[in-house]
Amino acid sequence: MLNISENKIEGKIDRHKFQAFEQTLPTRAGRRLAIFLLVVLGVIILLLFMPWTQNIRARGFVTALEPDKRPQTLETVIAGRIEKWYVQEGDYVERGDTIVHISEIKDAYFDPQLLSRTEDQIRAKEMAVSSYMEKVKALDNQIDALNKNRRLKIEQTRNKLKQAQFKVESDSIELETAKVDYAIADSQMTRMEQMYRDGLKSLTDLEKRRAKLQETYNKVISASNKLLSSRNDLLNAQMELNTVDNEFRDKLAKAASEKSSTLAMLYDAEATVTKMQNQLSNYSVRSGFYYLTAPQNGYITQAIKTGIGETVKEGEPILTIMPADYQLAVEMFVKPIDLPLMHIGQEVQIQFDGWPAIVFSGWPNSSFGTYSGKVVAIDNFISNNNKYRILITPNPAEAPWPDGIRVGSGANTMALLKDVPIWYELWRQLNGFPPDFYQRTDGQQSGDAKKAQK
């Protein structure tokens, strides 16, 4: 029963005769279960103190180490129409091999004699440039001749001006002489009249003196007219000098203006020639884009554009090429919280998709089917997936990566960190703490890692 009473029934009743009584009896199975649970508990406690290697697990994919050895697309430089294919998918091509031929689809380049006709236009325009240059030379000669004629004509006009000035001075002297003669004649006339009144001179002498006075007066008038005419000639000579200078200035200005216009047309023609030569070079280079060639040795992996007669736009991809000679690498992406734990030269375990593996992340030495790699590059800027990209190459001190790996296949990576007890790792995982930050000893660091830490 409940064994409350002090009176024992042990040995007085056969409990096996009563089914309910029998179920209350202790069994050996219960003892074995308790022992088993205690053993399991002990093993678990023991396991909690076993070492565990902290790691950073990330997903990545296989790529090529050199950027120029990664898969690339072959794009068209010009828009065109596919005329003929020279390769098929899976073919091996060498640098410079012809892959596809395209033709023009723009009406500006339909002319089959486009290059020769453009050359004819350039030659015609060059002849126009030569004509303009000859015209400029002729205008220079004309300007030189006008300058010479101007100097001679001005010198001639100045000589005439000097002659007119001398003529004015001569006539002025002649007028003064006539005035003096007239004054003398007038004085003599006065004395003659006095002498006539005194009866010393006859009337005839008086009349002769009057005639002489009139004659000298006429000379004064004539000299005055002659002086006025000379002054008028002087003014005309001055006007002629100004007129000659202005006429030649006008002619020189017209010739200079025509020369400037010719030079403007010359420069415009030269610019047109340069533009057409550039256009001819573009046509020549464009004709070389009708045949797309392989940029490097590799394999044709996929034809994006197919068939004959299909049109493509500028910069549109036609096919993809995988370079033949490349060095494999793995791109892994880690969270920003794990980035400080990564460094150049750090060892990383990799599991490739399609390759059987048994992985114990905490016991890397017990894993099977994983391959070793080393960190060679860490991006300084976050990627589009909000993670940092890390580039891994094969570890030369470990087994080489399988030969059957192809660029683009997936990979699971584990960056090995510090060894800690399992209980500590469970406590860290439950609290969401990051792995412990640590630095390797000098004996464990590679040369690249030391450079990165510096």
pLDDT for res 360: 46
Q: Are residues 56 and 199 in the same domain?
A: no
Q: Are residues 332 and 449 in the same domain?
A: yes
Residue 302 lies inside a defined structural domain of this protein: no
Please provide the size of the chain in residues. Answer: 454
Q: Which of 242, 268, 288 is the last residue of a domain?
A: 288
Q: Which of 288, 310, 336 is the last residue of a domain?
A: 288
Distance CA 304, CA 125 (A): 45
pLDDT for res 54: 64
Q: Which of 288, 303, 336 is the last residue of a domain?
A: 288
Q: Are residues 330 and 284 in the same domain?
A: no
Q: Are residues 279 and 139 in the same domain?
A: yes
Q: Tell me the backbone φ, ψ of residue 70, rounded to 5 degrees.
A: -85, 160
Q: Which residues contact 360 (CB under 8 A, 6 or more apart)?
A: 366, 367
pLDDT for res 377: 92
Q: How many C-beta neighbours within 10 Å does residue 433 have? A: 11
Convert the pLDDT of each residue in 12-68 to its tens digit: 666 666 666 666 655 566 677 778 888 888 888 777 777 766 677 888 889 998 888
Domain count, the chain: 2
Task: Spell out the per-residue pLDDT of the chain, length 454, in tens.
Answer: 455 556 666 666 666 666 666 666 555 666 777 788 888 888 887 777 777 666 778 888 899 988 888 889 999 888 899 999 999 988 999 999 999 999 888 888 888 888 888 889 999 988 998 998 998 899 899 989 988 888 888 888 888 888 888 888 888 888 888 888 888 888 888 887 888 787 777 778 778 878 887 888 888 888 888 888 888 888 888 888 888 888 888 988 998 999 899 899 999 989 999 999 998 888 888 888 899 999 999 999 888 888 888 888 888 899 999 898 888 999 999 888 778 778 888 888 888 887 665 554 544 554 555 788 999 999 988 888 889 999 999 988 888 888 878 888 888 887 766 666 767 767 776 776 666 654 554 444 444 433 333 3
Residue 25 lies inside a defined structural domain of this protein: no
pLDDT for res 164: 83
Quote the tokens at residue 178: 């006539």
Q: What is the largest CA-CA distance in the chain?
A: 227
pTM comes to 0.56
Q: Are residues 281 and 348 in the same domain?
A: no
Q: Are residues 264 and 167 in the same domain?
A: yes
Q: Which residues contact 165 (CB under 8 A, 6 or more apart)?
A: 234
Residue 98 lies inside a defined structural domain of this protein: no
Q: Which amino acid is at 193?
A: E
Distance CA 379, CA 387 (A): 10
Where in the sequence is the domain holding 252, given as residue range(s)?
Answer: 114-288
Q: Are residues 362 and 238 in the same domain?
A: no
pLDDT for res 93: 92
Residue 101 lies inside a defined structural domain of this protein: no
Distance CA 346, CA 122 (A): 65
Residue 419 lies inside a defined structural domain of this protein: yes
Quote the tokens at residue 241: 């000098």
CB 280 within 8 A of CB 112: no
Residue 283 lies inside a defined structural domain of this protein: yes
Half-sphere exposure for 229 (CA within 13 Å, toward CB): 9
Domain containing 227 — which CATH number? Answer: 1.10.287
Domain containing 374 — which CATH number? Answer: 2.40.30.170
Q: Are residues 118 and 262 in the same domain?
A: yes
pLDDT for res 446: 41
Q: Are residues 359 and 252 in the same domain?
A: no
Closest by Cα among 297, 295, 293 to 92: 297
Residue 163 lies inside a defined structural domain of this protein: yes
Distance CA 329, CA 394 (A): 7
Q: Are residues 333 and 239 in the same domain?
A: no
Q: Are residues 269 and 358 in the same domain?
A: no
